[in-house]
Structure 1
Amino acid sequence: MADVLDELPEAGEGKRGVDGHLGYLLRQAAHAHRQRVEQRLSGLSLTLPQFSALTMLDAYPGHSGADLARLALVTPQTMSVIVANLLKAGLVERTPHPIHGRIQTITLTETGAVMLGAAKQCVYALEAEMLTDLAPEVRAAIRQWLTRIARPEAG
């Protein structure tokens, strides 16, 4: 009898391929993407969740940790750890909210902006490689589809 582990399909084969369940395929693709991004960012000593947090802070500056958690798709507890590590690295800073005294807003430091620029080069190069053999209209359709299924009214 063959070893059961020898019978497992590779990613992209069998039910892990085009005949697979859509939810599983999305999760499989997200996992593969995360591994590739983590590898690209490892030279910068930055993780994908940290990159996401910095990217969201750049796009939407001055938000609280709770807001940032929602934007970066992590729990507030996880974001608290991410922000603590980014603070230690000097990539972000906290300041009291101008109206709500108990809330602290988080912004990128100059060092954080430079780090984000370097990280974006790594991640965007990977994304360009992923899309290299797809026509522009296919790329646009993929982005539209992913955006549509992420909206609350899609379910």
Structure 2
Amino acid sequence: MSRKSAGITRSKTARKTPMSADEGTVRVPAPGEGKRGEQGYLGYLLRQAHAAVRLTMERTLADLGVTSPQFAVLTMLNAYPGLSGADVARLTFLTPQTVGVIIRNLERDGAIEMTPHPVHGRIQQWMLTSRGATLLKACRERVIALEKRLAGGLDAKTEASIRRWLAGIAADLQEG
């Protein structure tokens, strides 16, 4: 089943998006333009920014053989050693199934190892190996450069305000 283009589904009088030279195709605005800019919904703008950061991170880490979800898993296991797969999924905003695949791959590559929980034998706890710590260090150097690019042009006070705002959104909306 083919999808109808936006130019086909709208009447010519109701059209709000400029048409390109090829009448019938709608020109998609670039990031920063129209609803993809300051007039856009905050939620959309956050998602758009996240997508741009994730794509840049994927490209930055590609030659290390690490994806951004793998980086998130390594980061959380470094910060909180001994997490279960379910805990990692919650902290990284990934599905348990996705985390399961990531954990199997990282374990196969020797970056993490499993230890049984001391009380609840069915719970598997994950920790970085020395190989995983070395890999994470290489990833972090690149991600820190990306973070500096993200914060470029912000003074320390503005950056702190933005960080507080973003963390506050997560905490506030998580409660609801």
- 2:128 corresponds to which of 108, 128, 145: 108
Gaps of 5+ in 2: 1-18
Provide the secondary structure at the position in 2 that maps to 1:7.
coil
Amino acid of the structure 1 residue aligned with 2:46: L
Q: CA RMSD, aligned part only?
A: 1.3
Higher helix share: 1
Give the equivalent residue in structure 1 for 2:85: 65
Who wins on radius of gyration, i.e. which is larger? 2
1:140 aligns with 2:156: no
- 1:40 corresponds to which of 60, 69, 85: 60
Runs of 4+ in 1 over 6 A off after TM superposition: none
With structure 2 as the length reference, what TM-score do the two structures score? 0.84
Deviation at 1:88, TM superposition (A): 1.2
Give the equivalent residue in structure 2 for 1:88: 108
Provide the secondary structure at the position in 2 that maps to 1:90.
coil
1:79 aligns with 2:114: no
Provide the secondary structure at the position in 2 that maps to 1:29.
helix
1:66-85 Cα deviation digits (max 9, x unpaired):
11111111111110011011
- 2:70 corresponds to which of 45, 50, 53: 50
Amino acid of the structure 2 residue aligned with 1:35: L
Provide the secondary structure at the position in 1 that maps to 2:150.
helix
1:6-37 Cα deviation digits (max 9, x unpaired):
51100111110011011110110000000001
1:150 aligns with 2:170: yes
Write the distance in 1 (CA, Å) between the matches of 2:27 and 2:73.
39
Percent of residue pairs bearing the same amino acid type:
53
With structure 1 as the length reference, what TM-score do the two structures score? 0.95
Gaps of 5+ in 1: none
Provide the secondary structure at the position in 1 that maps to 2:153.
coil
- 2:144 corresponds to which of 119, 124, 127: 124
1:104-143 Cα deviation digits (max 9, x unpaired):
1100000000000110110011110121211111100110
Count of residues paired in the alignment: 154
Give the equivalent residue in structure 1 for 2:32: 12
